[in-house]
Chains A and B, each alone.
Chain A
């Protein structure tokens, strides 16, 4: 009591004293921050500088990326008439979407089987899948082509699809397995004790709760398939160039800035999709739904 009544009169600077009491805590939190920030910017710089350069060059008139910067949209016009690039982009999107959807379905089913049915054998499968991820794609692609040739399958769309799926599937499985293991079966048991049949309990409880992981795994599968040049290069049928293959061909024969334009468009699409999904995920209650998976990938 005595201190509270006396404080304002005895210490005219009570307010500043309070601030001072707050200050040490703030400074403790700030200590070492500039160093970490510099490090963070360095890392971001390494990733984003080339991206920024590509974007800038896509608007620069010079064919060889020389300065001074002269703004133009001519490369976008060139891109619009470059049928080969547009067709390759379309092929890549179709392939990646199909593979991602198949990986999502099969991967989730496989993850459920590993966690719920195999149980004790789960470790074996998880180890095998992790190992599969570490095999270099180039080696995997060559080996797959060898096997395909040996069994008389040869290059083809089917082989391209299977090869891409084989590479993407483990990612979905591992992400979903981790989520399922974290979830346990108690929630489903609870649903069943309340009268839900097994399939209903799965649909109403487990599925919404693993949706984040499934979506995250699906996006991962899409991106991996989209970028998987070695697999495309060795397994795609002749004449069926995916976007990475087409870009490779262009680069071999001489680099045109309309590829910069294409890169800028793709980056723009990715960022827009990411921001839209992030906005949905951030909405109140949204973080409880499937959209929140984006936060795990982008956020």
Chain B
């Protein structure tokens, strides 16, 4: 167990190519489950390769337990890695796969047996030692890969898109399992994924990565409800982004181009006249009756264009004076919303978030918020 740090890490694969990691700094605490999420090509896997010792950064430091491990080869970093393809050794049995790390530490097969059994028990696959990887289902292979990575009691566990190869139902089950196993093993874990649901569900802390830079970091629920910028707002879930101009700061009043949003918390540096973006998550809208008096927050009149039921909830697309709006409604409400139905939408101030990035009235330049958020 250990804490893990990247300090201003730069990495490019070739001199003539743009850097894939651009001054990246992360700080993962002991025992924490840290989720990194970003679109493909954002540098997620490169981060794991740098942490694992398979790639040397061009600049910056990698710290494990406070000591610089730059230059330490992968075999001496003492990290457990679960690869995207699981990378189970196809010519070895499950028992031999799980025991591989112990064997590398000079343990004889007979001594390994107890530990291998304990780990297979932990991942919920007792007694499968004699099987070969190709005789297991995807979910089982995933568990074996976890057991193999944990058997040496590594300082930290690195997970590279561990669930992407599984189908939806097993994936959800494995999310819970991953959390349980990580807690029981008490190991620091870093997961990289492109799946925002996975990142939101698994991480104690979440980091949104884009183009090799940290876009936002924080508790998953906080990052979800308080995205700093458009990228985070749209990458994590879906968002209705409404542009407006600040009319007053205290109490706040934003002109959305006709409709007014009032009572919202503004970014600290917002001044009257600044252009801001207001973010309302689809599930934060409340359907109100037409003609119901407007309240603090945002009230909009809209017409239903399309409703689609997807399980417990329905996704509705509405046309409003501010354009297209996505609204999530309960399945019980879907029947009431026909195409063409007029509704009044309302979102209370605490359901609405104003993005940090704003266009200052003075300079006219967009100032995107960067750097880690607390």
User: A192 at the A/B interface (Cβ < 8 Å)?
Assistant: yes
Stretch at the interface among B78-86, B261-269, B347-355: B78-86
Compute how far the CA of A205 lies from the CA of B87 in the bound complex, rounded to whole angstroms: 11
Contact B89 A187 (CB under 8 A): yes
Contact A190 B75 (CB under 8 A): no
B residues in contact with A197, CB < 8 Å: 73, 75
Interface size on B, residues (CB 8 A): 26
Whose C-beta in chain A lies nearest to the C-beta of B74? A192
User: B105 at the A/B interface (Cβ < 8 Å)?
Assistant: yes
User: B132 at the A/B interface (Cβ < 8 Å)?
Assistant: yes
User: B224 at the A/B interface (Cβ < 8 Å)?
Assistant: no
The interface residues of chain A, by DSSP majority, are classed as: helix
User: B54 at the A/B interface (Cβ < 8 Å)?
Assistant: yes
Neighbour of A191 across the interface among B89, B132, B152, CB < 8 A: B89
**A178-218: which residues lie under 8 A (CB-CB) from chain B?**
186-187, 189-197, 200-201, 205, 208-209
* B54, B78, B87 pick with most chain A CB within 10 angstroms: B87
Interface size on A, residues (CB 8 A): 19
Contact B73 A192 (CB under 8 A): yes
B residues in contact with A187, CB < 8 Å: 87, 89
B residues in contact with A194, CB < 8 Å: 75, 100-101, 104, 148-149, 152
CB distance from B269 to the nearest CB of A (A): 45
Contact A193 B85 (CB under 8 A): no
Contact B54 A189 (CB under 8 A): yes
Compute how far the CA of A196 lies from the CA of B75 in the bound complex, rounded to whole angstroms: 6
**B58-97: which residues lie under 8 A (CB-CB) from chain A?**
73-81, 83, 85, 87-91
Whose C-beta in chain B lies nearest to the C-beta of A289? B91
Compute how far the CA of A114 lies from the CA of B81 in the bound complex, rounded to whole angstroms: 27
CB distance from A214 to the nearest CB of B (A): 14
Neighbour of B91 across the interface among A196, A201, A209, CB < 8 A: A209
User: B314 at the A/B interface (Cβ < 8 Å)?
Assistant: no
Compute how far the CA of A195 lies from the CA of B132 in the bound complex, rounded to whole angstroms: 22
Contact B81 A193 (CB under 8 A): yes
Whose C-beta in chain B lies nearest to the C-beta of A211? B91
CB distance from B290 to the nearest CB of A (A): 50
Given contact pairs A186-B83, A190-B81, enumerate 4 new A-B contacts (beta carbons under 8 Å).
A189-B74, A193-B74, A194-B75, A194-B149
The 6 A-B residue pairs with the shortest CB-CB distance in the complex, in nearest-first order: A195-B104, A190-B87, A194-B101, A193-B81, A192-B74, A186-B87
6 A-B residue pairs with Cβ-Cβ distance under 8 Å, sorted by A, are A187-B89, A189-B54, A189-B81, A194-B101, A195-B76, A288-B90
Residue numbers of B with Cβ under 8 A of A are: 52, 54, 73-81, 83, 85, 87-91, 100-101, 104-105, 132, 148-149, 152
Residue numbers of A with Cβ under 8 A of B are: 186-187, 189-197, 200-201, 205, 208-209, 285, 288-289
